[in-house]
């Protein structure tokens, strides 16, 4: 697991709601080379991210690898364009329902390039029902901009150790980068937070391309 990247992803996953209400002082000059035009890249039709079991960590301590809660221990995440929708499936080492306050996050892009970046958060409401929230970080690329969040009506299916959803492409921003980041978290009874992640920046898998596959490097 890439600790530096995990820390960055955790920052987004845990405080994304705060970022959505924050303003930016201006564009970030450090735009990653994976960023393309503001339109869906044919090379970025999706990504399959494999992650080893037993690499959950305590967000505050980050001192040891844990196997619990298995319900947020990511083993694979698959996000691919399928027809007119983005189909996403999180697979964990154990039943998701046994993890307290589970949360799953997909970040397309990077916070260093907000103009091209957005995320989809899947979590339960107070009634225990799953819901999706989209946050578009594009406004943060302009001085004084505020990230915009909105609920998505696509249903979330949780069965055993899999959480999946299909989001119509016309309800989300363009897929404009080759960077795919996935995260999960669970808030324990003592309020500590355990997390896991998987990313195209360090995985040995490849990014699906329209005419083949493009290897990624960490």
Q: What local confidence, expressed as pLDDT, does residue 135 receive?
A: 94
Q: What local confidence, expressed as pLDDT, does residue 141 receive?
A: 82
**Mind listing the pLDDT tens digit of every residue in the chain (218 residues)?**
333 344 444 444 433 332 333 323 333 333 333 444 444 555 578 899 999 999 999 888 877 888 899 999 999 999 999 999 999 999 999 999 999 999 999 999 887 788 889 999 999 998 899 999 999 998 888 888 888 899 999 999 999 999 999 999 999 998 888 889 999 999 999 998 999 999 887 534 333 333 333 333 33
Interior angle at CA 39, CA 134 and CA 200, nearest 5 = 65
Domain ranges of the chain: 3-24+34-211
Contact 99/171 with Cβ under 8 angstroms?
A: no
Q: What local confidence, expressed as pLDDT, does residue 211 receive?
A: 31
Our measurement of the distance from residue 85's CA atom to the centroid of its chain's CA atoms, rounded to an integer in Å, reads: 17
Nearest residue to 32 (alpha-carbon basis) of 177, 174, 137: 177
pTM to 2 decimal places: 0.77
Contact 111/181 with Cβ under 8 angstroms?
A: no
């Amino acid at each position: 697991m890439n600790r530096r990247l995990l820390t960055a992803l955790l920052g987004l996953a845990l405080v994304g709601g705060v970022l959505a209400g924050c303003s930016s002082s201006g564009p970030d000059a450090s735009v990653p080379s994976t960023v393309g035009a503001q339109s869906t890249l044919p090379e970025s039709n999706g990504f399959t991210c494999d992650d080893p079991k037993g690499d959950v960590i305590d967000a505050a301590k980050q001192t040891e690898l844990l196997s619990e809660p298995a319900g947020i221990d990511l083993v694979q995440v698959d996000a691919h364009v399928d027809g007119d929708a983005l189909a996403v499936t999180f697979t964990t080492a154990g039943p998701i329902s046994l993890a307290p306050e589970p949360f799953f996050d997909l970040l397309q892009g990077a916070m260093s390039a907000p103009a091209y970046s957005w995320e989809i958060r899947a979590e339960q409401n107070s009634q225990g029902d799953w819901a999706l929230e989209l946050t578009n970080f594009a406004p943060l690329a302009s001085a004084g901009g505020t990230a915009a969040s909105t609920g998505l009506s696509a249903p979330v299916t949780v069965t055993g150790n899999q959480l999946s959803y299909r989001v119509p492409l016309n309800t989300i921003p363009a897929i404009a980068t080759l960077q795919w980041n996935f995260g999960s978290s669970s808030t324990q009874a003592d309020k500590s937070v355990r997390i896991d992640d998987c990313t195209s920046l360090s995985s040995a898998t490849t990014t699906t391309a329209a005419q083949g596959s493009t290897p990624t490097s960490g």
